[in-house]
Structure 1
Amino acid sequence: MFLKKILPALALSMLAGACQTGADVPTDLGGNTILFYNQAHGVQVEYFSKSGRTSLWYPGNTGSLPGRWTTKMDGNLICFGYPKNSYNPVTKELGGGLKCRLTADFKRNVRQTCKGDVFNLASGKIPFVLTKSRSQISTLKKSCS
């Protein structure tokens, strides 16, 4: 039980060393790992490759979810696509195709930005299973300040 609580905090602390906090989201997300939080989804971590691939670490998942990303309309929209067999428990939609949103809305949920694939999410593996708990963000922010 002790290790189940310590390992996630340790992994998040390791991430914090390579991260910047706040709303300083790079214009080009390629080559960065982004840590998000919103009430509906909880904590999410996603690596954005320079080639347009993503690897999403989502609460409850046992591995990272491969996807793709792009921007449109001079960067005013950010679009994501995930496999057809994936499922979004919040929107109740299956993956497949690109879904776009305003980049400004996307940036509002960003809590950390880190250079590189700091958790090696592109491998399909994750360090531990995330929960939706906001407390994971708090731990990370404390470690980063």
Structure 2
Amino acid sequence: MIRPTFQLISALLVGLGLTACVSGEDRAANEAKVLSAREDAGLRPERKRMSVDEAKAAFVGMTRNVKAFQFGSQITYIAPNGSVYLWFPGNPVVLEGKWSFKETGGFRPYAGKPVSETSLCFDYGPRTVNAWSRQRGGVECISSDTLAFATFESESGDIFGLAGRTQVPFVLPREKVSLADLRKRVGPRS
């Protein structure tokens, strides 16, 4: 289970306190206060909610280096054909799965109701286990703005040729790595 840091909890509590029970006129002023509190806590500003078209532009056809918290960096390539390829720390194989977009809702205190958001859903098949939830198989969805927030860097295309591999180029360490460092270690694609 991921344990939020004290700063994150403080910023979220301040954010909830500043955005609860406000009129539409006060919303912009309160969002500025939330942004300031996030910056004071050393957190990046929240991303705006993405539409499906914005999420497609941000994710499809991209290799992404995503923070996998205690696991390090995970590398994914999201192919335009609906396939996704995952290079996960400690795993000796490239996991192939399917991806899709789904309109989901999330509660926002200032709105007082669920609001629409675009989620990216992944299914790596029934014989896989999710590293965080320890659940076997099934579809896992994450809001596109959260995934974008957790992304360190991305580049266009399948830069490590994950779509054509069953074995990873090497087993990723359980630490943060950059795409440039990985590229040096993998070498030129053949």
TM-score (norm 1): 0.70
* Greater share of strand: 1
Query: Residues 121 and 83 (structure 1 numbering): CA distance in 2 closer, same or farther, change over 3 Å?
Result: same
Given the alignment of the two structures, is residue 115 of structure 1 paired with residue 156 of structure 2, yes or no? yes
Q: d(CA) in 2 for partners of 1:99 and 1:37?
A: 16
Q: d(CA) in 1 for partners of 2:99 and 2:71?
A: 19
Query: Residues 107 and 127 (structure 1 numbering): CA distance in 2 closer, same or farther, change over 3 Å?
Result: same
TM-score (norm 2): 0.54
Shift of 1:90: 2.2
Q: Where in structure 1 do 4 or more consecutive aligned residues deviate above 3 Å?
A: 137-140
Q: d(CA) in 2 for partners of 1:38 and 1:46?
A: 11
* Residue aligning to 2:146: 105
Aligned counterpart in structure 2 of residue 131 of structure 1, from 162, 170, 173: 173
Contact 2:55 2:144 in 1 (8 A): no
For the residue of structure 2 that corresponds to 1:89, the secondary structure is coil
Contact 2:100 2:122 in 1 (8 A): yes
Cα deviations by residue, 1:96-129 (Å, 9 ceiling, x for unpaired)? 3x22121111111101111111101112232111
Unaligned stretches of 5+ residues in structure 1: 1-22
* Residue aligning to 1:47: 77
Measured on the aligned residues, the alpha-carbon RMSD in Å equals 2.5
Contact 1:41 1:132 in 2 (8 A): yes
For the residue of structure 2 that corresponds to 1:69, the secondary structure is strand
* Residue aligning to 1:94: 136
Unaligned stretches of 5+ residues in structure 2: 1-46, 48-53, 104-115, 185-190
* Greater share of helix: 2
Instruction: Decide which structure has the larger Cα Rg and report it.
Output: 2
Aligned counterpart in structure 2 of residue 72 of structure 1, from 95, 102, 105: 102
For the residue of structure 2 that corresponds to 1:40, the secondary structure is helix
For the residue of structure 1 that corresponds to 2:55, the secondary structure is coil
- How many pairs does the alignment contain? 116
Cα deviations by residue, 1:78-111 (Å, 9 ceiling, x for unpaired)? 1111111111232111113x22121111111101
**Alignment identity in percent?**
27
Greater RCO between the two (CA within 8 Å, min separation 6)? 1
